[in-house]
Amino acid sequence: MLAATNRFISIGQYMPSLCLLCGAMLIRALSLWVTLQKDDEKDEAIGDTKVAEKDKIGNNVNDKAEGDDEKIARETDAKELTKEETQEITKDIDKDKSESVMRGTEDKVANITKDKYIGKEQTENNAEEKEELKNSRVNGFSIANVGGNYLLVHLMGYTVMNLPPLFTYIGAIHFSLASEVSVFYGMLSSSAIFILLSPKCLRTPSELTRDEVTVVNILMLIELSTACLAIGVHNFPLGVCLAALYTPLALIVGVVEDKKQGRLILFVKRVVCLLLQPLLILMILMILYSRVLFPEEGIFLMASRGKDAAMQAIMFSIVDSMIYGNWLFNIVCTVILPTWILSWQILWNRVQV
C-alpha cells in the first residue's frame, strides 16, 4: 500500500487484521464440522445398541425354537414306542385318539417351524438394518437438498445482477422514471421478495435436517470468509468493511433447534440479519454519513438525502460494471447477497432434534 510518495506500507502490516476477522469465521466453520462428526458418532453408538438388542431377541427366538424341536422329537419318539408296544399288547386302540394325538403333535411342529421362520426373518431384517444404519452414517445428509438450495440461492444473486436493464426498461416505458430510480425500486422489490420467500426454499421439496442445515451454515461461513479475504487482497478497505459488517452476523447465525432457543434471542438475531441486508445496510450507512456531513438537517431530510445517495451509488456501480468492468456490483450480487440469504434461511427454519 502506497500511503504517500515517500512511504510504503507492507501487506504484512495491514492484512493480519482482515485475516483475524476471516479466521474467526473459518474457526466457527471448523467447530460446526467437529460438532457434526460427534453427533454422527453418537447416533452410530445408539444405532449399534438398538441392533444388538434386536439381535439378542432374534437369537433367543432361535434358541427357543431349536429347544422346542428337540423336545417335540423326544415326545414323538416316545409316542412311537408307546404305539408299537400298544400294537403288540392289544389291537383295540382307539384310532380317533391316536389321530388326535398325532394332530396335536403336528400342530406343535408347525408352530415351532413358524417360530423358526420368524426368527430367521428377524435376523435377516436386523442385518438389513445394520447395513442401512451404516449407509446413513456415511451419508448423514442429502447432497441433493443442500446442493440444490445452495445453487438456487446463487442463481437468485445471478438473476439480480442481470436485472438492472429490465428495471430500467420497465421504469422508462411504463412509469417514465429515471434509470437510477427504476433500478433502485426494482432492487428494493427484489429484496422484499427474497426476504419473504427465501426461507421457504429450505422446505421444498422436503425440510432439511439438523445436519443438513449445519452443512449449509458451514458452506456459508467458508464462502463469506474466502470472499472477504479475496476482496481484501484487491481492495483492502472494502474487504475490511465487509468483514467488519458480516463477521458478527456469521458468528451469531446458527441452527435454530425446535423449542431450544429463546424467542427474544432469536428475534434479535433476525433483526440484526435483516438490517445487514446489502441494500438496507447501504441505505443505513448513507443516511448516517449524511448526518455526519449535514448535522443541521432534520431526520426526514437526512433520510431522503441518504436514499438519494444510495440510489446514485447503486447506479454508478452498475455503470462501472458494464462499461469499465468494475467487479463491485457483481461481487455483491453473486457472493454477498447469496451468503446473506443463506443466513436468513438458517434463522427462519427450525429443525427437529
Written as one letter, the residue type at 73 is: A
> For 4, which DSSP code?
E
For 75, 94, 146, 351, the CA distances from 88, given in Å and listed in that order, are 20, 15, 82, 79
C-alpha cell at 258: 425446535
Looking at the DSSP assignment, which residues form a beta bridge with residue 256? 350
For 18, 204, 310, 334, the CA distances from 247, given in Å and listed in that order, are 10, 29, 23, 18
For residues 187 and 160, the answer to whether their CB atoms sit within 8 Å is yes
pLDDT digits (tens, 9 = 90+) for 83-123: 455 455 455 555 554 555 455 555 554 555 555 555 556 65
Written as one letter, the residue type at 29 is: A
The whole-number pLDDT of residue 74 equals: 52
For 156, 196, 204, the CA distances from 152, given in Å and listed in that order, are 6, 15, 11
C-alpha cell at 199: 426461507
The whole-number pLDDT of residue 112 equals: 54
The answer to whether the peptide bond before residue 199 is cis (omega within 30 degrees of 0) is no
d(CA 189, CA 75): 86
The whole-number pLDDT of residue 310 equals: 94
pLDDT digits (tens, 9 = 90+) for 230-276: 999 988 999 999 999 999 999 999 998 876 668 899 999 999 999 99
End-to-end CA distance of the chain: 50
d(CA 81, CA 83): 5
Q: Mapping DSSP to helix (H, G, I), strand (E, B) and coil, where does residue 326 land?
A: coil
Block means of pLDDT (10 residues each) for the chain, length 353 residues?
67 87 95 84 57 57 53 49 51 52 54 56 59 46 85 95 95 92 95 92 76 93 96 92 95 84 88 96 94 89 92 94 92 96 93 73
For residues 72 and 109, the answer to whether their CB atoms sit within 8 Å is yes
